[in-house]
Structure 1
Amino acid sequence: MAEKLFNPKQIIFGIVGIAVAVFFFIVEPPEGLSIEGMKCLGIFLMAIVWWMGDVFPDFITAFWLLTFLVVFKVVPLEMSFAAYSGGVVWIVIPALAIGVALSKSGLLRRIVLKILSKFKGTFNGQVKAFLLAGNIIGPLIPSATAKVAIAAPLARTYSDTMGFEPKSKGAAGLFSAMWMSFGVAGPFFLTGTTMCFTMIGLLPKESQGVWTWLHWLAAVWPWGVVLLIGSYFAIRFFYSPKHEVELPEGYIVNQYKELGQMKRNEKVAAVVLIACLTLWISESIHGISAAMVALLGMCVLLGAKVLDRQAFRSNIAWDTVVFIAANTGIAGVFKEVGITKWFSASYGVYAEPLFSNIVILIVVSVIIISILRFIFVSQTALMTVYVVATTPFALAAGIDPFIPGIIALVTVNVWNVFYHNVTFITTYAASGEMIEYKQLQKMSFVYMGLCVIGLLCCIPVWKMLGML
């Protein structure tokens, strides 16, 4: 029997989305909003409903959104698809390509094993090792999926070798240490996840240029430090085994030695990696944008055949590239058709109590976004909706729109239920089901709490940077 194209839920949400768009097309625009703005709102709300119902994969819905904006003459094609010629997409593609090269060449595994080998083979030692290793390699590759694909099997192997039974406290502890660093700590660094570039692309044009690698780190480091330290103590509290166990002496060192001498592709990838990181960090000195640095690095890797044509075609998440580019163009469209100005003027007074107190804004936003994750299947879609909706209010309150952006970026990573986080599902599978989901569910709420604390700790830094 042929598989149905749409299930009942998708059909219902698909029809509701179309109905919403039609309603906005036929209703008279409110004062201050143009006909084009009204159509744009209708099409955007249709996309939101489709994202909520998972009517199509998120990147396909994004394509529908951009296409309808042109078909119904809301904005010209050049405006609707402007993000595809912008800086965000041209750092995402090479950054993903560099990540593929690091993984494919074996360099990433070598780095991880080298770090792990520097710690004791005890439970406590390897919890520290995984937490630090994930944060050290965090800026090297912008794909959490690629990072956990390497780290999760290692966590399973070490757990088994220590004698932990699958789904035991010890196994769950090692999994948690790996996940909290390799899986969700990406926003610590600009190059830690493609979601960082997506968020920047959602900000107003005038706010995007300042976010260099170092400027990002300066604004976010308190959150990253709180997550690192808080995760360690939470894991020790929830998952420490009753009796201390240890890996056989020299076990990890021998794993590293089995890799042998660095191969030619690893050496080339290492040189490119060091060069890219150096140029990203020193962008304020030489003025070469992060996108151009990443493109140069990708060109070297392709030219040296560290990354071949087949890998470039099949190993880069092109659907992610499409989705990021589509979403980052929405903010510009909203400004062009007057939605941003109208939204701020019409509803700013209602948002003022929330945006007048940064502490309340952080706490309430984390709670609201976590609740909305039960509705939005796509993390990126929810972040897009939240950032676009809150930017006018942030600007009116004198708050840098980066702040609601970073709140959304870190909070959408929760995994309060199993389906919330696609990367968590991938990690769970890659670990050979070494844990039960319910064992890690509590860590999602720990993560939410650490996000609130970490973001609150960022407030003094944001004031120093003139963001508040």
Structure 2
Amino acid sequence: MKRGKLIAGVIGLVLGIAIAFFIPTPQGLSHAAMVVLATLVTANIFWIFNVIPNFATGLLMLATWVVCNAVPFETSFAIFSTTTMWIIIGGLALGAAATKTGLITRIAYKIMSFFPANFKGQSLALFISGTIIAPMIPSAHPKAAMSTPIAQGISNALSYKPKSKASSGLFLAAMWGFFVTEGSFLSATAQNYAFKGLLPTKYQGVLSWGNWFLMMLPWTLIILVAGYMVLNFLFKPKDDTPVSKEFINTQLADLGPMSRDEKITATAILLAIIMWILESKINIPSAVTALIWVSILVATNVLTADDFKNRLSWSTIIFIGTVMALGNVMQTVGLTTWLRGILKPVIGPVIGNIWIAVIVLPIIIYLVKFVVVSLIATGTLVTLALLPLVSEMGFNPALIVIIVTTSVNVWLLSYMNAPFLTGSAAVQDSMASRAALAKSSIGYMAINIVGLLICVPLWQLMGIA
């Protein structure tokens, strides 16, 4: 273990032990609440400095609650029997099938073949193909690892120099389309389900697949239109004359005709999305829908036992489950009530008005990202800080999840966004300059707030703001 991690780990443990056993219990809190608070402090230090793998920290946190008699085992680990966990597993399995069969790559290249072979045309193609593919793969890293090599192939075909303006722009178009649009669809990333799972149960129903898509539609349009304009303004080369589409046509030809497994996977994903949209009408939970189609993929041998072992990130699934457990346990031991009294004077004015919230909360999250690297850890911290104040909010608390989801995806500095690092590593860090990343992130940060503001009238019409 590196020295920095070791020091952070020792500090985290000392603080946790001190809070749980030596600091006098404040009025209004029980010893159980102090144990939960202590483990939350320790866990966050471990997550921020990556002392040990994130999922291991989460499991130790849940186990500590049981060992210290803060809550019983059934309460501590209850989240692992919920529908939220099973839809994450099912969604990841559907995404694994789409990646394994080559369906995603085929969709991307096919869309690109319809657009001019220049910067404007292919950056637009990456935006559109990424947005279509986003809800099919609920994991950011595979999408980042898959999309940037496609962008690199286009960049090379257009004779753009490595890390030039144009090369940087195509890299960012790929990440913008495939990754940034994760905020548009509930199923586009497992962390959306994780943030949703932190909410009290009575508010989670608002965030069905269809509702999420509708609530985010204005934001999606703004993100795509304004993002495309920003990237073209910053990175389009002076000479943007279309060239031959030979690269794209060659890639499509190499794929050959659509395979049996691709056809089965495409059908499964399409019907799963339709069933998610119609969840309230057909009365089939989203998790059950996902598992039905995953089972069909297994029965048809599209997915195998080895795929479940190697293609699903079980450490990520466990980590998300441990994070989601926090919301229920904090409420059980009375920690949310105590925090409400402390935070209300400071945050109350912000969350009392949705117009103020969609401006101030993203800015707070942007600042937190300078310290907390993990996207899900940042979102969890902010969401948990606000949960005690749900009764004070001038809008449905489900909107907190929306704001958090869109605002954690910043990449101003390279360490702030792990999926961007994955995308860059997939092309040997040869496409985008650090300056280009910073400029585009500033653009996204501003566009995100504008997009959220434009959503507010729709949210008001829906009765949730």
The normalised TM-score by structure 1 is 0.96
Q: CA deviation at 1:246?
A: 2.5
- The counterpart of 1:23, out of the listed 11, 14, 18, is 18
- Following superposition of structure 1 onto structure 2, how do residues 211-222 of structure 1 map, counting pairs within 5 Å? 211-222=207-218
1:294 aligns with 2:254: no
Q: CA deviation at 1:104?
A: 0.5
1:443 aligns with 2:434: no
- Following superposition of structure 1 onto structure 2, how do residues 63-212 of structure 1 map, counting pairs within 5 Å? 63-212=59-208
Q: CA deviation at 1:247?
A: 3.4
SS of alignment partner, residue 210 of structure 1: coil
How far apart, CA to CA, are the structure 2 residues paired with 1:264 and 1:353?
Answer: 57
Decide whether the 8 Å contact of 1:138 with 1:192 is kept in 2: yes
Decide whether the 8 Å contact of 2:169 with 2:236 is kept in 1: yes
Distance 1:102 1:378, change over 3 A: same
Q: Quote the residue 1:364 is aligned against.
A: 360
How far apart, CA to CA, are the structure 2 residues paired with 1:395 and 1:57?
Answer: 35
Segments of 4+ moved more than 4 angstroms:
none
Decide whether the 8 Å contact of 1:369 with 1:408 is kept in 2: yes
How far apart, CA to CA, are the structure 2 residues paired with 1:110 and 1:405?
Answer: 32
Q: Quote the residue 1:463 is aligned against.
A: 460
Q: CA deviation at 1:289?
A: 1.0
How far apart, CA to CA, are the structure 2 residues paired with 1:329 and 1:249?
Answer: 50
Q: CA deviation at 1:249?
A: 4.3
Decide whether the 8 Å contact of 1:414 with 1:447 is kept in 2: yes
Q: Which amino acid aligns with 2:19?
A: F
Decide whether the 8 Å contact of 2:353 with 2:395 is kept in 1: no
Q: Quote the residue 1:396 is aligned against.
A: 392
Q: CA deviation at 1:250?
A: 5.2
Q: Quote the residue 1:239 is aligned against.
A: 235
1:411 aligns with 2:407: yes
SS of alignment partner, residue 83 of structure 2: coil
Distance 1:62 1:160, change over 3 A: same
Q: Which amino acid aligns with 1:124?
A: K
Q: CA deviation at 1:53?
A: 2.1
How far apart, CA to CA, are the structure 2 residues paired with 1:461 and 1:372?
Answer: 28
Q: Which amino acid aligns with 1:446?
A: G
Q: CA deviation at 1:254?
A: 4.1
Q: Quote the residue 1:230 is aligned against.
A: 226
How far apart, CA to CA, are the structure 2 residues paired with 1:98 and 1:145?
Answer: 15
1:13 aligns with 2:8: yes
Mean Cα displacement is larger for which, 246-255 or 272-281?
Answer: 246-255
- Following superposition of structure 1 onto structure 2, how do residues 332-347 of structure 1 map, counting pairs within 5 Å? 332-347=328-343
1:310 aligns with 2:317: no
How far apart, CA to CA, are the structure 2 residues paired with 1:427 and 1:378?
Answer: 16
How far apart, CA to CA, are the structure 2 residues paired with 1:249 and 1:35?
Answer: 67
Decide whether the 8 Å contact of 2:43 with 2:58 is kept in 1: yes
Q: Which amino acid aligns with 1:256?
A: L
How far apart, CA to CA, are the structure 2 residues paired with 1:242 and 1:441?
Answer: 22
Q: Which amino acid aligns with 1:451?
A: N
Q: Quote the residue 1:452 is aligned against.
A: 449
Decide whether the 8 Å contact of 1:394 with 1:404 is kept in 2: no
Q: CA deviation at 1:277?
A: 1.3
Decide whether the 8 Å contact of 1:54 with 1:377 is kept in 2: no
For residues 414-448 of structure 1, the C-alpha deviation after alignment (integer angstroms, 9 at most, x for no partner) is 11111111110110111242222222221111111
For residues 45-64 of structure 1, the C-alpha deviation after alignment (integer angstroms, 9 at most, x for no partner) is 11112222221122111111
Q: Quote the residue 1:3 is aligned against.
A: none
SS of alignment partner, residue 137 of structure 1: helix
For residues 283-304 of structure 1, the C-alpha deviation after alignment (integer angstroms, 9 at most, x for no partner) is 1210101111001111111111
Decide whether the 8 Å contact of 1:227 with 1:450 is kept in 2: yes
Decide whether the 8 Å contact of 2:157 with 2:247 is kept in 1: no
Mean Cα displacement is larger for which, 352-361 or 263-272?
Answer: 352-361
Decide whether the 8 Å contact of 2:354 with 2:394 is kept in 1: no
Decide whether the 8 Å contact of 1:158 with 1:247 is kept in 2: no
For residues 245-270 of structure 1, the C-alpha deviation after alignment (integer angstroms, 9 at most, x for no partner) is 32314542343233222111111111
Decide whether the 8 Å contact of 1:141 with 1:191 is kept in 2: yes
- Following superposition of structure 1 onto structure 2, how do residues 376-387 of structure 1 map, counting pairs within 5 Å? 376-387=372-383
How far apart, CA to CA, are the structure 2 residues paired with 1:80 and 1:375?
Answer: 28
Q: What do you get for the CA RMSD once the two structures are aligned?
A: 1.5
